[in-house]
Amino acid sequence: MPASLLFADLGLIAEIASKQAAQIDELWWFLCIVSLVMTVIIFVGVPFFAVKYRKKAGVKATQIEGSNFLEIGWSVIPFIVMLVMFWWGADLFYAAVTPPKDAMEVFVTGKQWMWKVQYPNGYREIDELHVPIGQPVKLTMASEDVIHSFSIPAFRVRHDVVPGYYDTLWFTPSKAGKYHIFCTEFCGNQHARMIGWVTVMERNEYESWSGGGGGGGSLAEQGEKLFTQNGCSTCHLLDQQGRCPVLRGLYNKPVQLAGGQTVLADDAYLRESILEPNAKIVAGFEPNIMPNFKGQLSEENVIQLIAYIKSLSSSGPASQQGSQQPPIVIAPKAKATVAPAAKQME
């Protein structure tokens, strides 16, 4: 659509650099056009009828009776238009909150006033995010302090990052380049400086970029170190259940709690189990044995520990499971979905 190009040139709307950006813009244009049509009908209709049926000297007013045709028309047509909006919006919303299974995971921690990024291979960056083109990317986001909001306008994604929770968003970058990251929740006096860049790279470029990994080993290996340093390993033995639950194979499995409920051992559950052990007690174990690690472990440390616990999920030799976590996974099946979606906008 030429209008969108014009707006992009003027800087009024951001570039389209993700698969969902094009789809979200289509809905946005639909809403704009419906609003425009309604506005024109109303703003032309009101003066037109006001003039047409105004009081005229010597003309006696006549009563105009209702019209079924009109009544049904202006009820049913807007109803259908609204349903289209609802269905279309719900469809995009559902897609936006459902990351694909093959998404590459990246961890983002917001902190006054920066974004700290951790990759599965252990590489870390601040205010920079590098992603390969055509690959769904899932961000798991935490905050060290206040509510932030992570936004990449060119991808049409934004999500609040609330302290005490993991928030997620996902996108499939569709166009190589450098795009702005913003914090879109006022978070203190340097809020306006909480900006960064996401760089979308071609796949081969990305592979050589990410190949090095971090000096400190993979995220899981960093977690393994913390697991020893913080004494977790003294209680949580790898293969022998004592006073404390065995963590191998825990990730993404249901956990029976002392209260009788069952919860899924996802990232959020593991985070809570580490920072507030007494919030949920595993069935068969005692409360108040595991120390409270709140304030002692940063959100980044917790992400590393969780990566380690995840790496224990795979079967294999008893020790050194951590180092078996593959580096950044680029799913071979994912297709580069660049052109078609973006093209529809023209």
**Using CB under 6 A as the criterion, which residues of the chain lie in contact with ligand HEC when the complex forms?**
230-232, 234-236, 243-245, 247, 250, 255, 265, 270, 273-274, 277, 281-282, 285-286, 289-291, 293, 305
CA distance 324 to 327: 9
Q: Is 265 in the site for Cu ion (CB under 5 A)?
A: no
By C-alpha distance, which of 267, 235, 277, 315 is closest to 106?
267
Q: Which is nearer to Cu ion, 103 or 142 (CB)?
A: 142
By C-alpha distance, which of 175, 193, 169 is closest to 183?
193
Q: Which is nearer to Cu ion, 118 or 121 (CB)?
A: 118
Closest distance between ligand HEC and the C-beta of residue 211, in Å?
29
Q: Identify what 73 binds: Cu ion, ligand HEC, none; CB under 5 to 8 Å per kind.
A: none
Q: Which is nearer to ligand HEC, 73 or 249 (CB)?
A: 249
Q: Are 233 and 308 in contact (CB under 8 A)?
A: no
- What track of x and - describes contact with Cu ion for positions 188 through 207 (by CB under 5 A)? ------x-------------
CA distance 58 to 72: 35
Q: Which is nearer to ligand HEC, 173 or 277 (CB)?
A: 277
Closest distance between Cu ion and the C-beta of residue 126, in Å?
14
Closest distance between ligand HEC and the C-beta of residue 280, in Å?
6
CA distance 212 to 253: 32
Q: Are 267 and 166 in contact (CB under 8 A)?
A: yes
Q: Identify what 232 binds: Cu ion, ligand HEC, none; CB under 5 to 8 Å per kind.
A: ligand HEC
What letters, b where the CB count within 10 A reaches 16 and e where it falls short, cover 192-211? eebebebbbbeeeebeeebe
Closest distance between Cu ion and the C-beta of residue 191, in Å?
5
Extract the tokens encoding 61. 């007013």
According to DSSP, the residues that pair with 109 across neighbouring strands are: 116, 142
Q: Are 245 and 285 in contact (CB under 8 A)?
A: yes
Q: Are 306 and 273 in contact (CB under 8 A)?
A: no
Tell me the site size for Cu ion, rule CB under 5 A: 4
Closest distance between ligand HEC and the C-beta of residue 289, in Å?
4
Closest distance between Cu ion and the C-beta of residue 294, in Å?
22
Q: Identify what 285 binds: Cu ion, ligand HEC, none; CB under 5 to 8 Å per kind.
A: ligand HEC
Q: Which is nearer to ligand HEC, 277 or 327 (CB)?
A: 277
Q: Is 232 in the site for Cu ion (CB under 5 A)?
A: no
Q: Is 148 in the site for Cu ion (CB under 5 A)?
A: yes
Identify the residue whose tokens are 């056009």. 33
Q: Which is nearer to Cu ion, 169 or 194 (CB)?
A: 194
Extract the tokens encoding 36. 């425009």
Q: Which is nearer to Cu ion, 187 or 232 (CB)?
A: 187
Distance from first CA to last CA of the chain, Å, rounded? 4
Q: Are 316 and 325 in contact (CB under 8 A)?
A: no
Q: Is 183 in the site for Cu ion (CB under 5 A)?
A: yes
Written as one letter, the residue type at 212 is G
Q: Identify what 183 binds: ligand HEC, Cu ion, none; CB under 5 to 8 Å per kind.
A: Cu ion
Identify the residue whose tokens are 């020790």. 319
Extract the tokens encoding 27. 């809905």
| Contact residues for Cu ion, defined by CB under 5 A | 148, 183, 187, 194
